[in-house]
Amino acid sequence: MEALVADRRPDLVVVSGDLTQRAKPLQFRQARRFLEGLGPPFLAVPGNHDVPMYRVWERLLDRYGAYRRHFSPDLEPSFRDAELEVVGFNTAFNLTIDDGRFTARQLAAAEERFHRDGSAESEGRVRVAVAHHPLAALPELMGWRTARRSGEALTAFAAAGVDLVLAGHVHVAAVGPAPDCGRRLWLVHSGTSTSRRGRGREQGRNTCNLITLNAGPQDAGCLRRSATVEQMLWSERSGLFETEAVHDCPLA
């Protein structure tokens, strides 16, 4: 991962949850050190593994305590630069084992969090939502349940002008258009980047996605762009992440 980041120099590293296996302080501190060591800014949201599963009292009374104390106090960070507006959503509420959900309050605040004010500056940014759990049943996701209120979340994201939704949880990389929600919006799932618990063709192999934003055609005076998603798969042979598939995602 260090070599890939050094080679491709992303503007932002996004981690869509499950930073740890068992939500232990040491695991959070290791995750923080690893991400800080990569160099670029990073944005992370909690996954179900980042909430204690077996420490029942902690799970009931202070479920994000270890995350806040040892990784980040902010469960729903945001990132903005000239081209990007990225907003994290915590879906790992975890009163069940691993199902996720959006809350009505999160969705009511979505549009405001994306700072869509109609200005050329705002409209020129690509808007990206980050959550841990799936929002729609892409074929590669093999029947995994979507987060509760996913349909409402997609509608809220479409109203907020979101272009890409990044998620994880399923241990399989997948890219596809969201079901009809009033806007062209792409779902981009990451497999397992720092463990080998991938499924299907990713079994035993680390994966990650590299997303590149492409400018619109100049002569069309087009502010909007496209995104290219490279699905990267770890190669034992080369000792590097290699491009396994490329998806072109025209943006709205």
> Residue holding tokens 């890409």?
164
Q: Which of 25, 22, 17 lies closest to 45, judged by CA? A: 17
Q: Is residue 191 at the binding interface for Fe ion, with CB under 5 A as the rule? A: no
CB of 113 to Fe ion, least distance (A): 23
Binding to Fe ion (CB under 5 A) within 64-123 occurs at none
Q: Is residue 171 at the binding interface for Fe ion, with CB under 5 A as the rule? A: no
Q: Is residue 225 at the binding interface for Fe ion, with CB under 5 A as the rule? A: no
Query: In this structure, are strands 186-189 and 164-167 parallel, antiparallel, or unpaired?
Result: parallel
Q: Is residue 48 at the binding interface for Fe ion, with CB under 5 A as the rule? A: yes
Q: Is residue 47 at the binding interface for Fe ion, with CB under 5 A as the rule? A: yes
Residue 156 CB contacts under 8 Å (≥ 6 apart), including other chains: 107, 108, 110, 111
**Number of residue whose CB is nearest Fe ion:** 169
Q: Which is nearer to Fe ion, 174 or 213 (CB)?
A: 174
Q: Which of 14, 15, 16, 18 binds Fe ion (CB under 5 A)?
A: 18
Q: Which of 125, 169, 189, 225 binds Fe ion (CB under 5 A)?
A: 169
Size of the site for Fe ion (CB under 5 A): 4
3-state secondary structure of 30: helix
Measure the CA–CA gap between 200 and 171, rounded to whole angstroms. 9
Q: Which stretch binds Fe ion (CB under 5 A): 35-43, 109-117, 161-169, 226-234?
A: 161-169
Task: Give the bridge partners for 230, in sequence order.
Answer: 210, 246
CB of 132 to Fe ion, least distance (A): 6
Q: Which of 165, 64, 178 lies closest to 114, judged by CA? A: 165
CB atoms within 10 A of CB 226: 16
CB of 192 to Fe ion, least distance (A): 10
| Interface positions with Fe ion (CB under 5 A) | 18, 47-48, 169
